[in-house]
Amino acid sequence: MKFITPAQLKAMIDSKEDFQLIDTREADKFDHCHIEGALSIPQLDLPYKLDLVQKLNKVVIYCIYGIKSEQVFIYLKDKLKIKDLYILEGGIYQYASDIDPSMDV
């Protein structure tokens, strides 16, 4: 598994790097708070929404703490063979702590 830190993700966002950011939490959690630019694909909906994943692009996935993203990582690697796939270390909670404390996670 490959991980990126909140600081690395922030740098990617700021530099307008071409990548896809996927929030795997439930839709209500996403609606309440998410990282700007993220696409909401809840973990349980993923098998039905694989066509939304840009498998030829860099993809970063996140959940609340980064733990459940490991299952999503394995699933996406197996189903879509994504080469450039990363988990946000510490999830949105760590991102909020390190980058944007105003986020209400």
Ranges of the chain with pLDDT below 70: none
The whole-number pLDDT of residue 1 equals 94
* Alpha carbon distance 76, 10 (integer Å): 23
Domains annotated on the chain, with CATH: 3-98 (3.40.250.10)
- pTM for the full model? 0.96
pLDDT digit string (tens) for 58-70? 999 999 999 999 9
Which phi and psi (to 5°) does residue 20 adopt?
-110, 135
Q: In terms of DSSP bridges, do strands 39-40 and 58-62 run parallel, antiparallel, or are they unpaired?
A: unpaired
Minimal CA–CA distance to 40: which of 57, 20, 58, 65? 20
The whole-number pLDDT of residue 72 equals 96
The whole-number pLDDT of residue 47 equals 95
The whole-number pLDDT of residue 70 equals 94
